[in-house]
Chain A
Amino acid sequence: MNKKIVFGNWEAITVIINMICTKIFISFPRFMVEDAGTASWLLTIYISILAFIGFYIISGLYKGFEGKDPIELAELAAGNTGRVAAGIVLTLLMLYFTAYHLRLYAENLKIISLSISPISYVMLFFVTGMLVSAKTGLESLVRLHSIYVPVIATGYLIILLAVLPLFRFENILPVLGTGPYEIFIKGFSRLSIFAELILLFLMAPYLRSNRNLKISGYTALGFSCFFLLTGAITYIGVMTYPVALERILPIYPMSRLIDYGRFFQRIESVFVFIWAGAGLLYISVAFYFCLEVFRKTFRLEYSRPLALPFAAIVSTIALLSPSLMASIQIDSQYFRRWSWILSFGLTIIILMAARIKKSRKATEKNPTRC
């Protein structure tokens, strides 16, 4: 039934842009400053190039596997065991995406706006959103992205343009920040910023052809790199080092600095609007694919009945961490360092295994071709 759902490149592009770029609002520019200091912009360029190389390799390996997602490919490579193993890993990955962002968005909303409300109450808004999206399905979710992501991007660019007068070129110097080793060797693991690219491969069945997959991938990566770079460079250029290490929500304090006379100030209300919207879309997509991957892994007919129990599991996992600081530390020190292994590494391994299996099968069928 789900196979019949087909959507265009624009929908896929906006989903991937939102999934990769949402972290600009919550952590990304600070992560870059933590690693590279004043050269956060350089590290962003570096990991962007790495992401393009990674996608180039993956899209090359995708030849001959048109319309297949990593779970189907794992089944091709290693049968049911492969499918279940890859499915469990990807379900856990999606669970992490959903639970961590649910906690982070709820906590941050408490910090900047709903300081008295209990965390469970704030989380309820996002949980309701993700339940609704699970019910309405992927098609309406991607259509919503195609409408709302340009609005988010416009709001984001307005904020960046408005703080531009406060940008000081000297703040991005010294040019190598914390040093070349920190940027080019240790910084490699920050490729994990693009971990959400795995969703593009999970959307492969809905994109019809490899050509569409490539177009969507490269375009989404291009836009994402642009937004990540502008966010990183503006943040360090306006907030300066070492103050840039301190801010919990990088774009929020910048939006508070916008002041063009008495009638154009307190623009953070725009920020809250786009930020909460981006978060809701992110959590909804991650949750939807969590259900969908689980359904495919265990060959269930429907994913909707899973929505409520999974929502309960996600909410429980989200509340496991004792504090926001602990959640951020787990994300910064572990997940955003090593998740590239899952999104890029695992996909490449699955694709290579499927390719080997396919060529072996072809050889068995037609031994004379050897």
Chain B
Amino acid sequence: MCLIKKISLLLMISILFSMFSGCFDRREIDELAYVMAVGLDKGKTNALRMTLQIAIPSAATGGGKENGGGEGGSESSYEITVETPTIYSGINIANTFVSRQLNLSHTKALIFSEELAREGVKPYINAITRNREFRPDMNVLVSKTSAEKFIRNVKPRLEANTARYYELTLAGFNYTGFIANTDFHKFYRQSVAIDQQPVAILAAVSSYEGSEDIKLEDSTYKDKGRDLPFEGDFKAGKIPNSGGLKAEVMGLAVFRGDKMVGELDGEEAGMYLMATGEYNYSSMTFLDPVTKNNFIVLNVKQSRMPQQRIKMEGDNPHIYTKLILEADIMSIQSGINYEKPENLSKLEEAAENSIKEGMLRYLNRTARELNSDICGFGAHLKKNFLTWQDWVKFDWPGRYKDCKFDVEVDLKIRRPGLMVRTSPPNS
């Protein structure tokens, strides 16, 4: 009995030793190369040109740079590009010349070139869904320039860690309203769904080298009947800026299924957020309702989810949307005392009309021009069907282009900022 106990103890200790020494799947953290972003372009010599942005951990975790601020980012990652038939064969190729094994569990951005996105991304997103290393919260972007060019221009100035740069920049929709949350899970789910189509963040490398190069030709303000562009009347690559990062994001790429069918500018991205209830807050510019040549800036916040109803009028769906918003006054250029309760309603009405006009323009564009229900109105219609087969037969994606829209905006200005009264200039 004693001998058996001794043997059992010896066996247990041996098993424990084998476990402590690691198993077949042991991978040391300093033997892995973490990919921060994956860029996919059409290849020249093969199906794909894949660009990988790889973190340099020693630089990203400080190395004296982060603490001192400044240009840690330019050294915290490096980029490699391979021509490859598929994503995983590309990673295999890259593993031959990257000293560490590539690991995708910290990838923050998946960037398709516009050309590839317009052809369809299904072959690639299918491969990504199957792999446990890719995270579902990774963002999907479409680059108007090549994905390779975009990634090579991501040289963060404030962040030493490139992953942190992606996290913060792509979460900017919370306070800009110019992009949206396009995480991979959502993108994939919507790409196979009937009731809602996917969007991706529009990215590009800036067209302007300096302030003198800035042009307004590519702004969308004229299409909206404005004399001057507002802040959201641009798309990535044409944002009037210089001196910042060359890589920029603004607007959304609209998909139908897995194929890109069009683009939205920054303002339309904000409308998308409001229509889907994902709008947080951001400052919005409006024309002064009295002087018509001054601006008023409000910090607009979506206080409740939008109310949406959809009914069939003959064969055509009629969609009613009510947006419930709150706002704080940020700037009144004209000096008119809009804080006065009797004037405030004028301002509210002007803001409501402006948002309503923008929303109708955006919704009609998604239906007539893009024919893609990115707001997910179809989901509200599903309750009218008893079985999935009936719902599929109804052919919602085919009917969306015939939708009629009614929009109601209820905006209440709550706070005036630090000023309770505007005094007109004495001139």
Interface residues of A (CB under 8 A from B): 37-38, 111-118, 121, 128, 168, 170-171, 173-179, 239-243, 246, 253, 256-257, 259, 262, 265
Contacts and interface: CB of A to CB of B under 8 A. Distances in A.
Interface in B179-228: 185, 188-189, 192-193, 195
27 contacts: A113-B25, A114-B23, A115-B25, A117-B25, A170-B195, A170-B376, A170-B380, A171-B379, A173-B379, A174-B383, A174-B386, A174-B387, A174-B390, A174-B391, A177-B387, A177-B388, A178-B388, A178-B389, A179-B387, A239-B189, A241-B388, A243-B189, A256-B135, A257-B136, A257-B185, A262-B167, A265-B137
Contacts of B386: 174-176
Task: Give the bracket for the number of chain B residues in contact with chain A.
Answer: 20 to 34
B382 interface: yes
A324 to B, nearest CB: 13
A159 to B, nearest CB: 14
Given A38-B388, A170-B195, A246-B129, 19 more contacts: A111-B132, A113-B25, A114-B24, A114-B25, A116-B24, A117-B24, A118-B24, A121-B23, A170-B380, A170-B382, A173-B382, A174-B386, A174-B388, A176-B386, A178-B387, A179-B387, A241-B388, A242-B192, A257-B185
Interface string B373-407: 00010011011011111110000000000000000
Interface of B: 15, 23-25, 129, 132, 135-137, 167, 185, 188-189, 192-193, 195, 376, 379-380, 382-383, 385-391
B192 A174 contact: no
Contacts, number: 69
A71 to B, nearest CB: 32
Secondary structure at chain A's binding surface: helix, strand, loop or mixed? loop
B280 to A, nearest CB: 14
B189 A117 contact: no
B25 A243 contact: no
A177 B135 CA distance: 30
Nearest to A121: B24
Contacts of B388: 37-38, 174, 177-179, 241
Contacts of A170: 195, 376, 379-380, 382-383
A177 B188 CA distance: 21
Given A239-B189, A257-B185, A168 B379 contact: yes
Contact of B23 (A37, A112, A117, A243): A117
A179 B188 CA distance: 26
Contacts of B391: 174
Contacts of A243: 188-189, 192-193
Top-9 shortest CB links A-B: A170-B379, A117-B24, A173-B382, A174-B385, A116-B24, A37-B388, A114-B25, A176-B386, A179-B387
Nearest to A168: B379
A253 B129 CA distance: 10
Contacts of B135: 256
A112 B391 CA distance: 35
B183 to A, nearest CB: 8
A265 B24 CA distance: 26
A119 to B, nearest CB: 11
A111 B133 CA distance: 11
A174 B189 contact: no
Q: Report which residue of A171, A174, A240, A243 has the largest number of chain B beta carbons within 10 angstroms of its beta carbon.
A: A174
